[in-house]
Amino acid sequence: MVTTRYTRTAIGLHWLIAVLIIVAFALGWTMADMENSPRKLRWISWHKWLGITVLGLTAVRLLWRLGHPAPALPASVPLWQQKAAEGVHFLLYGLMFAIPLSGWLFSSARGFSVVYLGILPLPDLIGANEELGDWLHTVHIGLNYTLLAVFGAHVGAALKHHFIERDDVLARMVPWLERKG
């Protein structure tokens, strides 16, 4: 029998990481323009902790995926779309690693160590260097805009499959949406 849906672990990781990314993105977006305040410092820390969590969970997810391949797309999906989907997923994985890493590097360059959950000090990836820090900040933001665009394509395609093509592509990740028959 052909697997038609992702494993429960993959589904759980997908949605958990999705929520964490959305919260981290919203925090990052908002805090960037905030005046210095204790709240801003708290948000920056929460943002970092979320990012490190995403980085760790993405590593777990990738390892899981290596042992549990994604279910095939329905044969009705044209080849170019299958390739595009592959490309988008590849990009998403890359960004889920690159974005937290660029943030961690940025934090190190700013002279602030990341202390995960305020308890576990993570090593500084590079020494304090203000110019490099400014550059990494730009990279971090650029990668996030890229993520926003790729995320748009990912969600748009999922919704198109579900509401226009009315197939079970989205149901592979949301089991209760599965169409009977």
Partner 1 sequence: MLKRWLWQSAAVLGFGLAALGVQAGQALAPEQSEITFVGKQMGASAQGRFQKFTADAALDPAAIDKSRIRVVIDMNSVALPASDFTTEVKRKRWFDTAGFPEATFESKQFRKLDGGAYQVDGILTLKGVSRDISAPLSLKTEGSDLLAEGQFEIKRLDFNVGDGQWADTDTVANEVQIKFKLRLKPRP
Evaluate whether 128 touches 110 at the Cβ level (below 8 Å): yes
Q: Which helix (H) or strand (E) holds 78?
A: none
Evaluate whether 108 touches 128 at the Cβ level (below 8 Å): yes
- C-alpha–C-alpha distance, residues 69 and 5, integer Å: 10
CB of residue 70 to partner 1, shortest distance in Å: 38
Residue type, 68: H
Residues in 87-116 that interact with partner 1 by CB under 8 A: 110-115
CB of residue 49 to partner 1, shortest distance in Å: 9
Q: What do you get for the CA distance between the two ends of the chain, in Å?
A: 16
- C-alpha–C-alpha distance, residues 135 and 143, integer Å: 12
Of the candidates 58, 71, 62, which has an alpha carbon nearest to the alpha carbon of residue 172? 71
Cβ proximity to partner 1: between 140 and 161 the closer is 140
Cβ proximity to partner 1: between 45 and 146 the closer is 45
Strands (E) in the chain, as ranges, are 115-116, 120-121
Cβ proximity to partner 1: between 38 and 181 the closer is 38
Which residue in 69, 78, 118, 152 binds partner 1 (CB under 8 A)? 118
Which residue in 12, 56, 121, 152 binds partner 1 (CB under 8 A)? 121
Cβ proximity to partner 1: between 72 and 128 the closer is 128
Give the tokens for residue 160: 């198109």
Residues 40-79, mask of contacts with partner 1 (x by CB under 8 A): -xx-xx----------------------------------
Q: Which stretch binds partner 1 (CB under 8 A): 5-13, 38-46, 63-71, 151-159?
A: 38-46
Find where tokens 């490099």 sit.
132
Q: Which residues bind partner 1 (CB under 8 A)?
A: 36-38, 41-42, 44-45, 110-115, 118-119, 121, 128, 130, 133
